Structure 1
Amino acid sequence: MSVGRSAATPFWLAGPGALVFLGLIVLPLVLTVILSFHAYDHTTGIKNEFTLAHYAAVFSDDYYLGIFWRTLRLAALTTLICAVIGAPEAYILSRMRDPWRSVFLLVIIGPLLVSVVVRAFGWSMLLGSTGLVNQSLQGLGFESVRLLYTETAIVIALVHVMLPFMVIPVWTALQKLDPMVEAAAWSLGASHFTALRRVVLPQVSLGMLSGSLIVFGLSASAFAIPGLLGGRRLKMAATLVYDEYMHELNWPLGATIAIIVLAANLVIMLAYNRVIETRARKTLG
């Protein structure tokens, strides 16, 4: 009897977490998929009929395809900029000593303590036609530029919000790297750049992978920043889903768009994960 109880212990321990996962993630996704196949009529609402018309309408309409392309493109650009900025920041952070390390770490994660909506409003004030950026340009003798309600404004705000999610995983990976390995490369004649490229970068590639996946997924599903800094005309996937649910009341179409975006994100992230892990195994092997 004791053997049976010990063998079943892992299942009892994992049971509550599995139930929460099924109830909060799997079940809503299944219901959303089912909803996406329901017919919809603007006069009577959701019908108890199943159809593929919503998927056909989305994939055949350049309006929706353009929003999907903008969403993935801006998410990829945000991820690239976060990687270019975040990896050096994490390297500098790993080489710091207390108390400067704690101060620098607080500066990095500090924005996470402020609501995304508040940060988006802050950027709207900075990038507006009468904001600090345009006032500075006019003070230097340049003409004011239109930044608010553009893709540039969305990317700037997304980078500000997502940068900590890139820095922390890379910094964690660097903590596992012995500094003497890099010093050994220098002693063997390698330059600082070569040591970073051939020794440090392969070791932190999995940390950059984790950060990239987090940043890309969060950027592609962002709602507050595109809604406040992109305006009504410059839509992304999350704002489009919101409009279909709350304004048009076409819940099946909104569910269809949400499922398509989720599937696209999963395919891209899994493919990226496979490519990076394969390269990391070849480099470290």
Structure 2
Amino acid sequence: MRQQQNRRYVLAVVASEEASDGAGVRLRRAIGIPALEDVGPFLLLDEIHSSDPGAYIAGFPPHPHRGFETVTYMLSGQMHHRDSTGGEGVIGGGDVQWMTAGSGVIHSEMPAQESGLMWGFQLWLNLPSSQKMRPPEYIELKSQAIADVKLDKFNVRVIAGEFEGATGPAPGRPTRPLYLDVRMDAGAQHSFPVPEGHDCFVYVYDGALSVDSNGANVTVPAKSTAQLSRAGSVAIETMTGASFLLLAGMPLGEPVARAGPFVMSTQSELQTAIVDYRAGRLVKTPVTE
């Protein structure tokens, strides 16, 4: 790639880590690890990718959240969601579940299959302090509602934000998130516009790519995250093909207090969330199996 101005540069390339969550689901954690605790408003990114039922069948039984949003995006397989707002549904390949925990929710995410490939991602998106106690909300975005932009040697699914005139179906949020799923063929290259001032990262879930970083090509291998600077576009090319998530969001510039499934702005609020959960006050009607 030739050096051009107004390009974001790579701050770090971090390999995801093997982890276990829920009732023993094996996954890879890309954000929310010691080497990359967060990227602005993005607090966690997990990838489940396995054809072994033993790696995912136990699922994520009922558990609480407060103060942020979870965004689940499936590539393959089926996941059954239930929560204390009455929200319920099964999402499959290409579908998105956008759940706002807000003041408090208890939900479960259980595999709706006993065999086959399970491949998907869960993202945690922070809420500003003024909205941490907003009412919970559950939104399902079916695959056919997600714009698919096809360009020379690559295509882009627009889940949130805008790309090439297409707007994602995700709800509007103060962090103005951009969420793209990009599949690039061998020899493809493109400069992706990203809102100025937004925190930004790329997570490569298949193949490998390079990012033009101040005129130098930085390789990002599979199952790794590239954290990028806050100004300019993201210039990407691939020699052998790659599939990746490109996400960006406006930084909140607020303190973060987090412990397990709760994300608040102060330690006092965090302790209140824990006490409320233990006392049965986090939500009015907990989900039951």
Between structures 1 and 2, the one with greater strand share = 2
Question: Does TM, scored on the shorter chain, surpass 0.5?
Answer: no
By relative contact order (CA 8 Å, sep 6+), the higher-ranking structure is: 1
Q: TM-score, normalised to structure 1's length?
A: 0.23
Between structures 1 and 2, the one with greater helix share = 1
Q: TM-score, normalised to structure 2's length?
A: 0.22
The structure with the largest alpha-carbon Rg is 1
